[in-house]
Structure 1
Amino acid sequence: MPARPHSICRQPGCGAATAKPGYCSKHAKSGGGWQPDRERGSRHERGYDAEWERTRKRILARAKGLCECADCKALDRIRVAREVDHIVSKANGGSDDDDNLQAINVDCHKAKTQRERAVAQREAAPVARWIAGAWVMPARRR
């Protein structure tokens, strides 16, 4: 029986060959997608301090405890909001201004975050394809 062909690392843009499907040694993570606080900093080190708690309460009160996400508005759906979300993420230049914050339901927040991550991953790297017995990386767009 022939040997199994190598796989490509799942990290967007990497392209390194791996013996098993998954990540190469450079991108292998220790279980799960969550990083411990010692790596990403505590909530206070990331800017979620007492001032954030006051802002959070103000945003939830403004929304009267109801979800303000785009999906709920589009579907005319009513859900209880327990979290506050940045409409434009801080990583993408968003701020903590009230205009950029919305009260959001936990499930809506997870779905929005998942969509944002999927878009970022698609934009970050081309997808390798199996063509004629070999993995081929498409040329990068400029």
Structure 2
Amino acid sequence: MWMARRTMLPCRHRGCAALVRTPGYCEKHAGDAVGWKPDRERGNRHQRGYGSDWSRLRLLILKRDRYLCRCEECKRIGRVVPATEVDHRKPKAEGGADEPHNLCAVNVECHKRKTAKESGRARARAKR
């Protein structure tokens, strides 16, 4: 039985002429979706510094922060929401360390928002 193939769509990266089967970015520009490099270029979690030591530290920070989001925006507006992730206040890419004073519990939405801002700064640095 013959099935119609999906129409090819242009990559969402400005100026890229590559065609893709699903809406979004081509393989070359896949990192544009979240501002980071594709996983195959980033290495596994252990190579990136998120192995078993990080798992223990992450749990310690979540417990310390009582599983509540401690991001700057939530603190500023007095919002109380559950946290399931841990974020670096100063990103590792900008010299931040895996130290308790540089870590805070955050919810998924706040983490995505902060990561998007940081990835914008990283892209700006890379263009210089």
TM-score by length of 1: 0.64
State the one-letter code of the partner of 1:72: C
- Partner Cα distance (1:96, 1:103) in 2: 13
- Partner Cα distance (1:105, 1:92) in 2: 22
- Tell me the alpha carbon deviations over residues 80-120 of structure 1, each in whole angstroms, 9 at most, x when there is no partner: 11000111111111100100001010000000011122234
Shift in alpha-carbon separation, 1:48–1:123, aligned structure 2, 3 A: closer
Match of 2:10 in 1: none
- Partner Cα distance (1:39, 1:124) in 2: 16
Higher Rg = 1
Which of residues 59, 64, 77 in structure 1 aligns to 2:66?
Answer: 64
Q: Could you tell me the percent identity over the aligned residues?
A: 44
Shift in alpha-carbon separation, 1:121–1:44, aligned structure 2, 3 A: closer
- Partner Cα distance (2:120, 2:17) in 1: 18
- Structure 1 residue 45: deviation in Å? 1.6
Match of 1:3 in 2: none
Instruction: Find out whether 1:35 has 2:38 as its counterpart.
Output: yes
List runs of 5+ in structure 2 lacking aligned partners. 1-12, 19-24, 32-36
- Structure 1 residue 51: deviation in Å? 1.0
State the one-letter code of the partner of 1:22: C
Root-mean-square deviation (CA, aligned residues, Å) is 2.5
After superposition, residues 125-136 of structure 1 pair within 5 angstroms as 125=127
How many residues are treated as equivalent by the alignment? 104
Please state which structure has a larger fraction of its residues in helix.
Answer: 2
List runs of 5+ in structure 1 lacking aligned partners. 1-8, 11-20, 127-142
Match of 1:79 in 2: 81
